[in-house]
Structure 1
Amino acid sequence: MLIRCDEPRRLGVPDPEARVRFETEQREGGGWPGRRVLVVDGEPAFELSHWCGTCPLLFRRLVTATQKLSLEDVRERLTGTLAAPGDGGVFDAFGALLPEGEYLPVLLRVEPRLVIPGREGDYFSGEQVDTWGIDQFWGLPEYPHTPYYRTFETAVGSSAHLYEFVVPLVPPTWNERERVEEYVELMGRGAVPTAVAVSTLDVCEPAIGFGDDQSQHWGLTHFLLDGHHKLEAAATAGCPVQLLSLLALGEGLADAEQCARLPALRAQPRSARKTGA
């Protein structure tokens, strides 16, 4: 459910001061650009979709992904429901963790479903294989090296589909059990707490088809800054949680027109992609 989407805002700090930033690694000797990565506290945390846009959608946790972020100053405010993205200074507080740039603030209500790679509901061994087939070198689907949450999907058109993911910076097994149980109890009483994420929109389409469903994949990926315990609790209890997404414009594989379509797409009813649709 889309609650509210505000106008894009410029926020953030100079890159060297940002605790979270997006980088493209450079190959030795020049040539083609290297990996796109999400960097947390100076360490590459996730490998992202390849810059070409024809390779499969990707968020792959790296061995240096060991940090999660939260801000004590707004912790109490996020225990409850936000009416707007900027309520209680939340937008600006988390903006100070990010590199300077344009961000689209989107406030959502989601019902997360925890997915284990390779098991039922896994995008990488399901919908992605339907379009790209398995990796031609490894003979296997892509593997994200992390559990993640699926929250929404909808049609972009007859040959394009939006898939939404919430990606914890560290696995749910690292969460404190007592805090998860506290949120389960809180949600059982009707509370809808708020998580915060920095997000990217990647639009990927294969240049050569090895799958049965040749379609364009719009991947809306939310990397959790705050809310690891809340998302696990919501998935456990089958309850909704709010998600404040700070969509980093210009950092994903989507142009301005595609990003501008996102609020309307996110307001559509949920619908699954039918293979060969």
Structure 2
Amino acid sequence: MIKTADPRRLGLPAPEARLRFDTELQEIGGGPRRRLLMVDDEPAFELSFYCGTCPLLFRRLEGARETLSLERVQERLTGPLDEPDDGGVIEAFGALLPEGEYLPLLLSVEPRLIIPGKEGDYFSGEQVATWGVDQFWGLPQYPQTPYYRTFETVVDADAHLYEFVVPMVPPTRNERERVKEYVALMKEGTVPTAVAISTLDVCQPALDLGDDPSAHWGLTHFLLDGHHKLEAAATAARPVRLLSLLALGESLAGAEDCARLPALRARSRSARTTTGVVGPNDGRSSR
């Protein structure tokens, strides 16, 4: 299930918004520019580099230490939203965001919790197949957080879409009783709604460093509200709805790529397979 609304301008001027995108130098006097998602003026996540040829990245930093739930819309989010505009949720969360153009997407997701380096990890699976390991460290990229995989599908023969939901705080910080409450509700048929600010980064290696030199379309949802819901859904193998506010001006994707996203997200789920290259799910569709 996917529903979308027209792109709209949301948010506050960057100095007034709790979230904003920024860049900084890694070290005084030089070094590659880091692309960052900031929370309360502190770096919360390091994102893919601007070049578009480096590997896809979301790396949790010290500034990601709390959720951004809004009490006034909690009751509305306990159940499913039927439309992206339903209940004034977009406007409520828009007050947290940096001013810009956003594409609202209402998605149904079935999250699968991933621990970096373990089974199903994108960074040590599909990413290594394309870029190889980090040339300096000799290891895969490390996101410094558990995350959820929710969807993937074919873009074309040389490109694949990968979708992730990234929590602001790890599931170990969630309250156990609230997770159990949501598990029980989901088993009774409730489908709650989570909210995220999202980016679409299209990354393709400049050199053939791995066995599968394809383009990776990374749709990454940074979770604002719904941390307990996502863990409960992963535990109970149940769906949740996700209201994604895709930051068009902050994504490493052109306008045409972003415009294709709703149609791509409506396709059947399919893992990336090539001759001699099979993803960590052995060619089976992931949940």
TM-score, length of structure 1 as denominator length: 0.97
* Structure 1 contact 130–275 (Cα < 8 Å) conserved: no
Match of 1:12 in 2: 11
* Structure 2 contact 197–247 (Cα < 8 Å) conserved: yes
SS at match of 2:258: helix
Alpha-carbon distance in structure 1 between the residues aligned to 2:209 and 2:14: 39
* Structure 2 contact 164–219 (Cα < 8 Å) conserved: yes
SS at match of 2:210: coil
Alpha-carbon distance in structure 2 between the residues aligned to 1:33 and 1:256: 26
Match of 1:113 in 2: 112
CA root-mean-square deviation: 1.3
Match of 1:129 in 2: 128
Which shows bigger deviation, 122-131 or 57-66? 57-66
Alpha-carbon distance in structure 1 between the residues aligned to 2:63 and 2:102: 26
SS at match of 1:211: coil
Call closer, same or farther: CA 1:239–1:29 in 2, change over 3 Å. Answer: closer
Match of 2:183 in 1: 184
Aligned: 1:164 with 2:160: no
Alpha-carbon distance in structure 1 between the residues aligned to 2:188 and 2:255: 41
* Structure 1 contact 130–211 (Cα < 8 Å) conserved: yes
Alpha-carbon distance in structure 2 between the residues aligned to 1:247 and 1:86: 14
* Structure 1 contact 61–146 (Cα < 8 Å) conserved: yes
Match of 1:48 in 2: 47
TM-score, length of structure 2 as denominator length: 0.94
Runs of 4+ with deviation above 4 angstroms? 26-33
| Letter aligned with residue 65 of structure 2 | T
* Structure 2 contact 38–63 (Cα < 8 Å) conserved: no
Call closer, same or farther: CA 1:32–1:252 in 2, change over 3 Å. Answer: farther
Match of 2:222 in 1: 223
Cα drift, residue 86 of structure 1: 1.1
Instruction: Give CA deviations for 1:106-126 in whole Å, capped at 9, x if unaligned.
Output: 000010000000000000000
Match of 1:205 in 2: 204
Match of 2:75 in 1: 76
**Mapping of residues 213-252 of structure 1, within 5 Å:** 213-252=212-251
Instruction: Give CA deviations for 1:162-221 in whole Å, capped at 9, x if unaligned.
Output: 000000001000001111011001101000000000000000000112100010000000
Instruction: Give CA deviations for 1:66-86 in whole Å, capped at 9, x if unaligned.
Output: 121100000000001111111
Aligned: 1:98 with 2:97: yes
* Structure 1 contact 152–164 (Cα < 8 Å) conserved: yes
Alpha-carbon distance in structure 2 between the residues aligned to 1:210 and 1:28: 27
Which shows bigger deviation, 237-246 or 20-29? 20-29
Alpha-carbon distance in structure 2 between the residues aligned to 1:5 and 1:30: 44
Alpha-carbon distance in structure 2 between the residues aligned to 1:136 and 1:11: 40
SS at match of 2:250: coil
| Unaligned residue ranges in structure 2 (runs of 5+) | 278-287
Cα drift, residue 27 of structure 1: 6.2
| Letter aligned with residue 60 of structure 1 | R
Cα drift, residue 24 of structure 1: 1.2
Cα drift, residue 64 of structure 1: 2.8
* Structure 1 contact 24–33 (Cα < 8 Å) conserved: no
Q: How many residues align?
A: 276
SS at match of 2:270: coil
Alpha-carbon distance in structure 2 between the residues aligned to 1:225 and 1:27: 26
Aligned: 1:25 with 2:24: yes
| Letter aligned with residue 71 of structure 2 | E
Cα drift, residue 252 of structure 1: 1.2
* Structure 1 contact 212–275 (Cα < 8 Å) conserved: no
